[in-house]
Structure 1
Amino acid sequence: MTSAGVTAPEAPPVVAAGPAPFARVPVLTVTALVTALLIATGTRYAHGFDELYFLVAGRDHPAWGYFDQPPLVPLLAGTLDRLFPGSLLAFRVPMALAAGAGAVVTALIARELGGRRAAQLMAAGAYATSGLVIVGHWVATYALDPFLWTGVVFLLVRWTRTRRDGLLVWAGVVTAVSLEVKFLIPALWAAVLVSAAVLGPRRLLSRPKLWLGALIAVVATIPAFAWQARNGWPYAHMADVVAAEFPGYLAFVRDGLFGAGMGLGVLALLYGVWRLLRSPELRSYRYLAVALLLVTVVVLMMHGRAYYLMSLYALPFAAAAVELTRRDLVRWWRIPVTIAFALSAAVTVAGLPVWPASMKATSFGPLPLGTVFQGGETAEVQVADAVGRTYAALPPAMKGQTAVYAEIYPFAAAVEYYGPRYGITDVYSAHCGYRYFDRPPDSARDVLFTGFDPALLKPYFSSVTEVVPGLVWLYTGRKQPWPDIWPAVRTQ
């Protein structure tokens, strides 16, 4: 009993004396297989359009921030291309390592939850057969950030079990890195703090090292915040850009679930969340499960992208593996689980670029095939070649007064990356982040335009000629100065 006005102490975590030994051999085997698979397929087929944007931004337009992201991924992409020019293999290795490491950390979460060898292997396997591995093909913010969120969740789970406050400082350090990739992780921390305040452990909010970690994250992000402030906080407009692409609530839920892996991953995700909310053994971690649900609701209500939810999969995967092995529902449960893992692994492999570039099919029934990578990546090369050949064919005198302009940033990045072989050194676009790089020089009296809407620049030039049907137009005779044209053609 407690006297009036006195709050009963929080229940300690329900855990065994200590975690089981780390299942080093099986978990690292899974990691090695995932990493090797991504490295082996990393040279297929060409750079993706987001990869090219990150690469060009970091290599040719280095900055402390960008319209749509902090600086880390562009800096990484640009540095890798400078060190290993044109090498897809070297370029994509970091994301392969991040995907493999994510499987290890998920296994470690299962270990913290009380999982033994089988549970740790299953948790790593669930991560390794999810959409997290598919997106790990690209150098992108959405390939790196889930690993960092998984690291923060692991540190919070471990803190919940051990109450070692030094872990909260490390969580702040990982958060600082995540804030250099995307500005999304504050949503996780807000949900965690609200959930802990309501459900406990309320002690989390009063730990000085939690706020020391927060200070580290804030200080590390000051340069990126300063860039945003100097440029009118453009990242705030990303919500409008993303919301305009929202596919609808049902499609969002579908994609969010299937991102966990068609078949086994969806079941593991749902079962893991349910057991986190219901299992007495996992009661101490319930606040984290509620936090993940809160983040999901916020992303959904803000019309965010479904792949944001990939950052939340690790804890439910680990909980599902621990609970399944702990409950031992039927004596023969390992047989169907093994079969399910094998099928999920096959689906994951089929979803990677293991197919010949000549293959046209993009799905096998409801299952997407990795040929979708080929369709998007080689198209960028084709656009760049079409623009490059057109530019190379211009009379020498005309080239000196012709700017290359792209309607959308994927085309701009592709032409800027592949353009030097045709003599193109600069490409301009007023779309999204590209408009912060530069506008055409005053000497550009003509424009070689690539895109979908030739009417975009038509009012500002005397004449327009279609050069490549439906793709490239040549505008001549600029009628207004670029400082007047540029604000009028800026697009999201």
Structure 2
Amino acid sequence: MTVLTRPKTAFATGPVLVVAGLAGLALLLTSGRYAGGFDELYFLVAGRDHLDWGYFDQPPLIPALAAAMDWLAPGSLVALRLPMTLAAAAGVVVTALIARELGGGRGAQVMAAACYATSGIVIASHWLATYVLDPFLWTVVSWLLVRWTRTRRDGLLGWAGVVTAVSLETKFLIPALWAAVLLAALWLGPRELLTRPKLWLGAAIAVAATVPTLVWQAAHGWPYTHMSDVVAAEFPGYGSFARDALLGAGIGAGVLALVYGVWRLLRSPELRPYRYLGVAALGVAVAVLVLHGRANYVTGLYAVPFAAAATELTRRNLVRWWKAVVWPVFAFSAVVTLAALPVWPATARTSYGPFQLGSAFAQGELPQQELAKAIGQAYAALPADVRARTAVYAEIYPFAAVTEFYGAPYGIQRVYSGHRGYWYFGPPPESADAVLFAGFDPGQLRPYFAHETTVVDGLLWEYDGRTAPWRDVWPALKRQ
């Protein structure tokens, strides 16, 4: 058994907490803008009205979390997004802790924290989403592995299993990380990682915690397996994937730290015990690329390279002018990150040259809100007797989620859709023999109704005179 005896450096508590606090404050102050994103509103509807052990497109944690926050502060976007704000700030701290484990002093810890704080993870943390919480959980697992590598305290592996269990309630991606880590450890060492009983105890905890979700998936025909087809269909190409994965680390310091950090993990003698984590990160990235996954699937890999880059950079005897460049680069990165948050008026331009501005959030959120308003007004305008027997049906789940969230003032209590997870929420009641359809392809419902009326050309149609029971119609409406 090899235990590293690198001298312990003090944790830069004050400076790191300042960096984390600034990142969290920026998110908190902008979290009420501009409106709800369709994914987070879908999570809210799923958790609030259809809480279950699983869903078509994800495990249950984020929907349950959304429901809990809405119960505490109904309708508040600030409250809804607060868990992601806290996760982003915590991720900053954990990245600094990784730098400390690698032997980085106060400067390295602050630099590593700043890399995380100016990365795309923090920008994405404006929304409540699986792709925000899961990278934080990967970061915690990475810290536990780095710490175990240094100390060989096997209890850390048990805790890694607990965090993995939470991750598996968020997304089903973390087994890819563990597979890459174990294969890399078997190849490069430390091979004793695979022989530790507490590693397998942690694995058992993770599996046991996931059983209810797996039972739900099995009972519903393993719908999550179809998500790979959905994601692959959206694949932007290898070049775009590589660009997005790199820039997701942060324009400026982040992308430089990511590349330099991976290189040093693979080449530095001082980081030789942690080389397996660098190889594992590359393995996961290549697998996601080959399988046509999304670029945000790899954001959970950023923390260790960030920490390695900061640690190695501070070990070098840099010339004075190069030292003078480092902090201005971080200042530039901070400005870019802040500008990418919704600090602008909703009507502001969405980009400045190659830089995306936070007003782009408004371009996605506000039109959806206006769509819900249009659907709500059309529904409210129906005669009372017709409205009582009319179900609101959306062609795609984003339309359904935003309409259900914003529809209450118009009398809309429930929206139906055959798209992805919404199909599993069930059909309208048999008493609903009319439908207000929102979408682009009215042909979906046309075969099942006697009458069709255009309400808003290209967007809204009214159907009446249903010709078959919903129990027969609903299977045919399933879409992914």
TM-score (norm 2): 0.98
Counterpart position of 1:323: 312
Query: 1:15: Cα distance to partner?
Result: 5.1
Counterpart position of 2:373: 385
Counterpart position of 1:5: none
Counterpart position of 2:166: 177
1:299 match: secondary structure: helix
Contact 1:15 1:114 in 2 (8 A): no
Matches within 5 A, 1:27-426: 27-359=16-348, 361-426=349-414
Query: 1:250: Cα distance to partner?
Result: 0.6
Query: 1:418: Cα distance to partner?
Result: 1.3
Contact 1:14 1:282 in 2 (8 A): no
2:461 match: secondary structure: strand
Root mean square deviation, CA, Å:
1.1
Q: Where does the alignment leave 5 or more consecutive residues of structure 1 unmatched?
A: 1-9
CA distance in 1, matches of 2:319, 2:54: 53
Q: Does residue 416 of structure 2 align to residue 428 of structure 1?
A: yes
1:280 match: secondary structure: coil
4+ aligned runs moved over 3 Å, structure 1: 12-15
CA distance in 2, matches of 1:37, 1:164: 37
The worse-fitting range, judged by mean Cα deviation, of 274-283 and 432-441 is: 432-441
Counterpart position of 2:469: 481
Query: 1:332: Cα distance to partner?
Result: 3.2
Contact 1:13 1:283 in 2 (8 A): no
The worse-fitting range, judged by mean Cα deviation, of 281-290 and 333-342 is: 333-342
Counterpart position of 1:444: 432
CA distance in 1, matches of 2:144, 2:478: 43
1:383 match: secondary structure: helix
Contact 1:132 1:310 in 2 (8 A): yes
Counterpart position of 2:460: 472
- Identity rate, percent: 66
CA distance in 2, matches of 1:104, 1:476: 57
Query: 1:327: Cα distance to partner?
Result: 1.4
Query: 1:333: Cα distance to partner?
Result: 2.6
Query: 1:263: Cα distance to partner?
Result: 2.0
1:489–1:36 distance in 2 versus 1, CA, 3 Å: same
CA distance in 2, matches of 1:48, 1:39: 16
The worse-fitting range, judged by mean Cα deviation, of 128-137 and 90-99 is: 90-99
Contact 1:405 1:450 in 2 (8 A): yes
Q: One-letter code of the match for 2:141?
A: V
2:162 match: secondary structure: helix
Query: 1:64: Cα distance to partner?
Result: 0.6
CA distance in 1, matches of 2:388, 2:23: 49
Query: 1:261: Cα distance to partner?
Result: 0.6
CA distance in 2, matches of 1:260, 1:417: 33
Q: One-letter code of the match for 2:45?
A: V
The worse-fitting range, judged by mean Cα deviation, of 380-389 and 463-472 is: 463-472
Q: One-letter code of the match for 1:448?
A: L
TM-score (norm 1): 0.96
The worse-fitting range, judged by mean Cα deviation, of 380-389 and 476-485 is: 476-485
Contact 2:3 2:152 in 1 (8 A): no
Contact 1:30 1:128 in 2 (8 A): yes
Query: 1:465: Cα distance to partner?
Result: 1.6
Q: Where does the alignment leave 5 or more consecutive residues of structure 2 unmatched?
A: none
Q: Kindly provide the CA deviation profile for residues 294-336 of structure 1, in whole angstroms up to 9, marking residues without a partner as x.
A: 1111111111000111111000000000000001332333211
Contact 1:386 1:468 in 2 (8 A): no
Q: One-letter code of the match for 1:232?
A: G
CA distance in 1, matches of 2:76, 2:317: 48
Counterpart position of 1:6: none
1:475 match: secondary structure: strand
Q: One-letter code of the match for 2:453?
A: T
Q: One-letter code of the match for 2:473?
A: I
Q: Does residue 441 of structure 2 align to residue 453 of structure 1?
A: yes
Contact 2:252 2:330 in 1 (8 A): no
Query: 1:13: Cα distance to partner?
Result: 5.9
Counterpart position of 1:3: none
Contact 1:14 1:283 in 2 (8 A): no
Query: 1:354: Cα distance to partner?
Result: 0.2
